[in-house]
Homo-oligomer: A and B are copies of this chain.
Amino acid sequence: MHTITVNSQAERAAGAMPAGCGTPRGQPLWSSLQDIIKLLNIPPITVDESDNNQPFLHLAFKHGHHIHSVGQPFDALYLVNAGFLKTVVSDEFGSEHILNFPMRGDLIGFDGVYRQSYTSEAVALSDCDLIYLPFYRLTALCRKHPELEALLYGAMSQELVRKQAMIATRSALTAEARVARFLLALGERYARNGYSSNLFNLRMTRSEIGSYLGLSLETVSRTLSALAVAGMIDVDQRTIRINNPDALTALRRLPPSASRHARPDCSGAGSKSAVPQPEQLHAVLLD
């Protein structure tokens, strides 16, 4: 891996670099194709030496900065090497909808391929280290390496599948279930990167979680409190501890029409009192 110093502003002004505001990092400035493949959340493959001689640039983005914005000409994907971001679309009224919270191993920018300009914006929620992947270089490599090509098609398809699942999830689950699953999914993603899946820090505000889940920030807050009261999690500011992942997994809405015959009260397992805990979670825990 080389270690060079680049005046990013100059290079980028010259059109060799992204139009965003990222700057090259200090330490590992370049990554080989093989490094990149290993980083992806996808079964890795091996490519030959020769193609590892043209490494890809790392860019650093500070907390709060934009990686790309809506309408900006598309030229590259970004692979997250470190840090935490959000991707956002704005509707015609100006309200924002968060699409994803990318982290290490995630690719950003697929929506720009169509029409050659980004339709969403990506914002760093922490200081980030991203690998800059010019799309023409990527596709050129794909023509040489069918396995890599399969990887790229696969990654785009995966994005699609996630969005499909998101759509289905949103209209099928209650607020409680959505928040519960959000926490679980986040934990699993942290776990994939070597962190704890049970104890972690949210990097985003309640409002951002709400936007992602299609809920108001108040509902998110209330639900977190409710899950905490139920003992499934502990909440301290943005620190979350998951005490009972199984309960969170099982948390669901009384399905639209089914399970209406289920016993209406099953939360009182321990039955600490005759009081049916009226407010609490009107959800059902299926064993």
Contacts and interface: CB of A to CB of B under 8 A. Distances in A.
Interface of A: 89, 91, 93-95, 97, 99, 110-115, 119-120, 139, 143, 146, 149, 153-161, 163-172, 214, 252, 255-259
Contacts of A171: 97, 170, 214
A223 to B, nearest CB: 16
A154 B112 CA distance: 9
Contacts of A149: 139, 143
A147 to B, nearest CB: 12
Contact of A167 (B153, B155, B160, B167): B167
B157 A111 contact: yes
Nearest to A159: B160
Nearest to A154: B114
A99 B164 contact: yes
Contacts of A160: 110-111, 114, 156, 159-160, 163
Nearest to A165: B89
B172 A97 contact: yes
Contact of A113 (B110, B154, B168, B259): B154
A120 B89 contact: no
Nearest to A144: B143
Contacts of A255: 93-95
A171 B219 CA distance: 14
Contact of A164 (B89, B158, B257): B89
Nearest to A158: B114
A258 B143 CA distance: 47
Contacts of A119: 161, 164
Given A119-B164, A164-B120, A95 B158 contact: no
B113 A157 contact: yes
B163 A167 contact: yes
B111 A161 contact: yes
A226 B112 CA distance: 38
Given A93-B256, A94-B255, 6 more contacts: A94-B258, A95-B257, A99-B164, A119-B161, A167-B170, A170-B170
Contacts of A258: 93-95
Contacts of A113: 153-154, 156-157
B167 A111 contact: no
30 contacts: A89-B165, A91-B172, A93-B255, A93-B256, A93-B258, A94-B255, A94-B258, A95-B172, A95-B258, A97-B168, A99-B164, A110-B157, A111-B161, A112-B157, A113-B153, A114-B154, A114-B155, A114-B157, A115-B161, A119-B161, A120-B164, A139-B149, A143-B143, A156-B156, A159-B160, A160-B160, A166-B167, A167-B170, A167-B214, A170-B171
